[in-house]
Amino acid sequence: MGKRGKGEEQITVEIYKEKHRSQVREVVLGAAGGGGGTRSHTIKVGGETTLPFLHFEGEIPNRPVIAMEVWDMVPADWPDNLKAFFSDVYSDPAAWAKKCVDLYGADLVALRFKSADPEIRDASAKDCTAALKKVLAAVGVPLIVYGCGKGDKDNEIMGALAEAAEGENLLLGVAEPDNYKSLAAAAMAYRHSIIAQSPIDINIAKQLNILISEMSSSLFERIVIDPTVAALGYGLEYSYSIMERIRFGALSGDRILAMPMIGNVGNEVWSKKEATGSADEYPGWGEQPERSLAWEAVTATALLQAGMDILVMRHPHAAALVKQSIDELMRDHNP
């Protein structure tokens, strides 16, 4: 509130601070030597006591991080301008992961076992664990591990992957309300963390976290919420608003919602015509290469302002831009 100070023309604006009662739980990703894993370091996410980047009113102990997506097979439908960055490493997920970390500065690697999809290559659990071990050996950063997205097959491979990386504290994805038990069991048994995914719905997000907590109270401490993100132009406002509500819930003391959040940004963006369509097809939209990376970077930027803690991205330049923006936003700014 503005108040007149003692000097005749002096005004002091009294800064308005929300009094949040609670904080987002801090989740550690990866395990290093002392923690029973082989990562070169761990990464903490969460821990905020205020809304994104409002340093004047609370603590933001951990910066949002960027995971770059690596597949265990050549992605058929990525546009050329994205493929070009990885064409030399496509056939080797370990080399691909290493390139993301060493050259593009990825905080984390998100390994997606697309080849396990029965309609694609139906790779076996054995093939997948071999690939995972190679990636673990190639990079020191903590890993996020996604299945192929087909529930039954993922239940087959995720247990094997969790076992093969016992103690590494992978972030395993994804648990869904109608298919969470086997992933949660694997995470519990082999000491990993878990992504709980809900379809842009705060009540389902809560329900799923409760279901997981009923299986294991210690795994409950290692949940990261995937609220399901939409791409820019495709309902991003729904995700934005649900994420804000989840975060308000966390800060006002709802411990069922007090988890860090993760968003599959690249996966959403790179299937949209705004990212893939050429300038010939859409003459009013400018050049595709820069438009596509801008589409991914702006989607990520928007989600950061709604409280995203882990961004899973694809385009190295989009990731670098967003990282630079996070650097700036994490400096201790005051109004």
Partner 1 sequence: MGRYFAVEGLGNASGDAGKFKEAVETAVAKTAKSLLLVSEDVAAMAAALPVAVARKPLLYAATADNYMQMTELAQSSGCALAVKAANLDALAELVDKIIALGYRELVLDPVSPETGTLIARMTQIRRLAVRKKFRTFGYPTIAFTTEHDEQAELLQAATYMAKYTSVLVVRTTKKELLLPLLSWRANLFTDPQKPVAVEPGLYAIGDAGPASPVYCTTNFSLTYFLVEGEVEATRIPSYIIAVDTGGISVLTAYADNKFTAEKITGAIKELNLEEKVRHRKIVIPGAVAVLKGRLEDESGWEAIVGPREASGIPKFARDRFS
What residue ranges bind partner 1 (CB under 8 A)? 1-2, 9-13, 15-16, 53-56, 232-238, 240-242, 271-274, 284-288, 290-291, 293-295, 297-298, 301-302, 304-305, 317, 321-322, 324-325, 328-331, 333-335
Q: Cβ closer to partner 1: 140 or 235?
A: 235
* CA end-to-end span of the chain: 14
Minimum Å distance from CB 302 to partner 1? Answer: 6
Q: Cβ closer to partner 1: 216 or 234?
A: 234
Of 43, 67, 64, 63, which is closest to residue 312 (Cα–Cα)? 67
Minimum Å distance from CB 33 to partner 1? Answer: 36
Q: Cβ closer to partner 1: 152 or 328?
A: 328
CB atoms within 10 A of CB 92: 17
Minimum Å distance from CB 231 to partner 1? Answer: 10
Q: Cβ closer to partner 1: 40 or 241?
A: 241
Minimum Å distance from CB 148 to partner 1? Answer: 15
Burial status of residue 193 (CB atoms within 10 A of its CB: 0-12, 13-18, 19 or more): buried
> How much of the chain is helix, strand and coil, in % rounded to 5?
40, 15, 40
Q: Cβ closer to partner 1: 40 or 56?
A: 56
CB atoms within 10 A of CB 164: 18
Residues in the chain, total: 335
CB atoms within 10 A of CB 249: 18
Quickly tell me which residue has 């878990």 as its tokens: 194
Minimum Å distance from CB 249 to partner 1? Answer: 17
Minimum Å distance from CB 265 to partner 1? Answer: 13
Contact yes or no for 167/191 (Cβ under 8 A): yes
CA 151 – CA 162 distance, rounded (Å): 16
Q: Cβ closer to partner 1: 90 or 234?
A: 234
Quickly tell me which residue has 């799923």 as its tokens: 208
Q: Cβ closer to partner 1: 138 or 230?
A: 230
Cα distances (angstroms) measured from residue 30 to each of 92, 107, 142, 209: 22, 11, 4, 21
Minimum Å distance from CB 219 to partner 1? Answer: 30
The secondary structure of 221-276 as a DSSP string is: TTEEEE-----TTTTHHHHHHHHHHHHHHHHTT-GGG-S-BEE-HHHHHTTSHHHH
State both tokens at 23.
Answer: 């904080």
Q: Cβ closer to partner 1: 225 or 304?
A: 304
Contacts of 89 (CB under 8 A, 6+ apart): 95, 96, 98, 99
Minimum Å distance from CB 109 to partner 1? Answer: 23
Q: Cβ closer to partner 1: 171 or 297?
A: 297
Minimum Å distance from CB 57 to partner 1? Answer: 9
